[in-house]
A and B are shown apart, each in its own frame.
Chain A
Amino acid sequence: MVRFLIKGVLRDRSRSLLSFLIIGGCVTLTVFLRGFFVGFLDDMLRQSAVLLTGHVKVTTRAYAEEADLLPNDLAILEVDSLLTVLSAEYPDLFWSPRITFAGLLDIPDENGETRTQSPMMGIAVDLLSEDTRQPELWDLAPKITRGRLPREPDEVLLGEEFASRLEVEPGETATFIGATMHGGFTTYNFRVAGMVSLGVSGIGDYFILADLEGARQALDMEGTASEIFGFYKDMYYDDPAAVALTAGFNRIHKRADDAYSPFMQALRDQNQMGQIVDIAQIEMWVIILIFMTVVTIVLWNLGLMSGLRRYGEFGMRLAMGETQGHVFRTTLGESAVIGLGASVVGTAVGLLLTYLVQEVGIDYSSMMEGYDFPMTLVMRAKVTPDCWFIGFIPGVFATMLGTILAGRGIYKRQLSQLFKELELEA
């Protein structure tokens, strides 16, 4: 009997194949949409994490309070010992000290006189150690527009816009003029290794990216750092985990009586990122829910229609002596098989698509020309664990719901009524 029914499912293209394609398509869309949203959010958070916030960030308590002023006099002093503690306590994360500094950048001519000069903002991260992940995180190599990556501590990268404004070329000297962490006046000669375009508009105008050791020399900050950024090793920001981790750290290390005691903040605690995360999460679920509702209604209708279309067949089967329960169950079984099969295929296609967009990305910079948009211009999706099952909700659940609603007709209608419909069908 089951074989007989499966034969029917396989042969009745208009019933099975069409349903299969529609269900599969809806499932694919659902999966992709979910992956796409997560990827979008993830991209946004990753950008923020790499540039500004880390997944978590450690500073001194005093530095955190005045972070806007880049108060390097409040920097973390014993960075190496703190790093040892952090690495031991939180093996899921890796830690990267950085110095954020500001001052003037002076481009001298051949006589050493000022050719051009401009205020600047510098970020110094570990670009040169063997095991550093910073160049990878910043994705520097493809973003170099001229010159090359720094190879020595005193080599820096300039934002492309900044360099153009200063009319400076790779290989030239750029002199930093500013204050040491102890408040003394200092100048330091950096060499321009190259120019970088980070793909984040607005940030390139005053920006230099230096090596941590170079900045330490320039600012007299040996062994110290403004901040220590922590990143989850898989670079996926897990908000609840980061918040819990932060609370745990602060309970142990932060001390009210010591302004220099270390203090940890999660990504969400900084720059209103928390709000952005929350809103994005809610928006994402609202959109996915709306979409899933629409898909569910479509599939429900499909189930309903293919059920109604078969009343003639049902009538005949009942006349042959099949019980209503059996007709109902087998019809439900058929739709479960189709829904499940289509969900599996649809999920596979959806995952594949998501994966492709995750790996390759959709470059939409051309669409965004003329907009000042502080965001990457390549859209990426992300395959998350829930992508594996989210499509089954509309795919199986809605299809079967449709069938159940349609199938109620088998019970509710008088048998003889089914026959009237059967006669009309001819």
Chain B
Amino acid sequence: MDDNHIVEIRELVKRYPVGGGHFTALRDVTTDVVVGEFTGLVGPSGSGKTTLLNIIGGLDAPSEGSVTVLDMPLGGKNHKELAHLRREGIGFIFQTFNLLPVYTVFENVEFPLLLMGMNGEDRRSAVNQALEWVDLMDKVKSRPAQLSGGECQRVAIARAIVKKPKLIIADEPTANLDAENSHNVMGLMVNLNRELSTSFMFATHDEKVMGYLTRIIHLIDGRIDEDEQVSKPKYREGK
């Protein structure tokens, strides 16, 4: 695997059994993701965006082809090995935030570090740093129910980046946010992308999100229709 590649996908096919036969959700997908890319999967509903992200995240298995993520070929790996990959290397951000309602902001962000078995002191400083990034230091003790949607998604971002993963997967992260919060959240992710060279992979319909992407992969009917490098993203200042 190329040192520079964080994801390598070769001739990927994903079929779902439906009724007696099957439905092909992805066909002949071949592509690489380079370290530091801010990539979006874009396409109509049902085109396979979520399916592809799930496969990259080790949440779903390919039917054919090979997928290598962070130097780990996913074929033939068991649940434990895939869980380890996610735990150490991948952060997830969901459309619906998925914070744990009974825990505070601090504890929600702390959770991935507990899974990694990090000690208390390191945890505290990492969580505080992550919360500073997303500018939520004044909400450490709040519960998710006491936060706005935008704040919830910022907590989710902090939770995804607190372990400083190489790759963050975000499926429609702005779908439940208004314009202002969407820009706010995307701005945060752009900063992380720059400062930590964290690679991001989005699935999105959102024009605002697209305005930040450095690369847009267009999916239609489970196929890559177009792979476009964006040299001057609309909302992205600087480089």
A residues apposed to B, CB below 8 Å: 1, 4, 7-8, 11-12, 312-313, 315-325, 414-416, 419, 422-423, 425-426
Q: Which of B86, B110, B114, B116 is close to A319, meaning CB atoms less than 8 Å apart? A: B86
Cβ contact within 8 Å between A416 and B80: no
Cβ contact within 8 Å between A320 and B100: no
Cβ contact within 8 Å between B95 and A423: yes
Most chain A beta-carbon contacts within 10 A, residue among B57, B83, B88: B83
Residues of A within 8 A of B116 (CB): 321
Cβ contact within 8 Å between B176 and A321: no
Complex: chain A residue closest to B57, CB-CB: A319
Across the A-B interface, how many residue pairs have beta carbons closer than 8 Å? 80
Cβ contact within 8 Å between B102 and A312: no
Cβ contact within 8 Å between A12 and B102: yes
Cβ contact within 8 Å between B96 and A319: no
Q: Which of B84, B95, B98 is close to A316, meaning CB atoms less than 8 Å apart? A: B98
Residues of A within 8 A of B80 (CB): 323, 325
B129 within 8 Å of A (CB atoms): no
With A325-B80, A422-B94 known, 20 other A-B pairs at CB within 8 A are A1-B115, A4-B110, A4-B114, A7-B103, A12-B101, A312-B98, A313-B100, A318-B59, A319-B59, A319-B94, A320-B112, A320-B159, A321-B84, A322-B115, A415-B60, A416-B54, A416-B59, A423-B96, A425-B96, A426-B95
Cβ contact within 8 Å between B98 and A324: no
Cβ contact within 8 Å between A320 and B107: no
Residues of B within 8 A of A323 (CB): 79-80, 83
Closest beta carbon of chain A to B53's beta carbon, Å: 10
Give the docked Cα–Cα distance between A416 and B169 (Å).
14
Closest beta carbon of chain A to B60's beta carbon, Å: 4
Cβ contact within 8 Å between A415 and B112: no
Provide the main secondary structure of the chain A interface.
Answer: helix
Residues of A within 8 A of B27 (CB): none
Cβ contact within 8 Å between B59 and A415: yes
Binary flags per residue of B204-217, CB closer than 8 Å to A gives 1, else 0 = 00000000000000
Give the docked Cα–Cα distance between A323 and B115 (Å).
10
B133 within 8 Å of A (CB atoms): no
Residues of B within 8 A of A317 (CB): 111
Cβ contact within 8 Å between A316 and B100: yes
Give the docked Cα–Cα distance between A11 and B101 (Å).
10
Closest beta carbon of chain A to B186's beta carbon, Å: 20
Closest beta carbon of chain B to A308's beta carbon, Å: 16
Measured as residues with beta carbon below 8 angstroms from the partner, the interface class of chain B is: 20 to 34
Complex: chain A residue closest to B108, CB-CB: A316
Cβ contact within 8 Å between B94 and A423: yes
B34 within 8 Å of A (CB atoms): no
**Given A8-B100, A8-B102, A426-B96, A321:B114 Cβ within 8 A:** no
9 residue pairs A–B, Cβ–Cβ below 8 Å: A1-B114, A4-B107, A8-B100, A318-B59, A320-B87, A320-B115, A320-B159, A325-B80, A415-B54
Which residues of B (32-88) have their CB < 8 Å from a CB of A? 51, 54, 57, 59-60, 79-80, 83-88
Which residues of B (82-131) have their CB < 8 Å from a CB of A? 83-88, 90, 92, 94-98, 100-103, 107, 110-112, 114-116
Complex: chain B residue closest to A11, CB-CB: B102
Give the docked Cα–Cα distance between A11 and B102 (Å).
6
Give the docked Cα–Cα distance between A415 and B56 (Å).
13
Give the docked Cα–Cα distance between A7 and B79 (Å).
27
Residues of B within 8 A of A7 (CB): 102-103, 107
Residues of A within 8 A of B98 (CB): 312, 315-316, 422
Most chain B beta-carbon contacts within 10 A, residue among A313, A315, A415: A415
Closest beta carbon of chain B to A18's beta carbon, Å: 14
Residues of B within 8 A of A11 (CB): 102-103
Closest beta carbon of chain A to B175's beta carbon, Å: 10
Binary flags per residue of B152-193, CB closer than 8 Å to A gives 1, else 0 = 000000010000000000000000100000000000000000
Give the docked Cα–Cα distance between A280 and B124 (Å).
64
Give the docked Cα–Cα distance between A310 and B126 (Å).
28
Cβ contact within 8 Å between A322 and B60: no
Give the docked Cα–Cα distance between A313 and B101 (Å).
9
For the complex of A and B, the 4 pairs showing the least CB-CB separation, nearest first, are: A321-B87, A426-B96, A321-B86, A416-B60
Residues of A within 8 A of B87 (CB): 320-322
Residues of B within 8 A of A325 (CB): 79-80
Closest beta carbon of chain B to A340's beta carbon, Å: 21
Give the docked Cα–Cα distance between A426 and B116 (Å).
27
Give the docked Cα–Cα distance between A426 and B79 (Å).
26
Closest beta carbon of chain B to A310's beta carbon, Å: 10
Q: Which of B59, B84, B88, B176 is close to A419, meaning CB atoms less than 8 Å apart? A: B59
Residues of A within 8 A of B112 (CB): 320-321
Give the docked Cα–Cα distance between A313 and B96 (Å).
12
Give the docked Cα–Cα distance between A426 and B51 (Å).
20
Complex: chain A residue closest to B112, CB-CB: A320
Closest beta carbon of chain B to A135's beta carbon, Å: 62
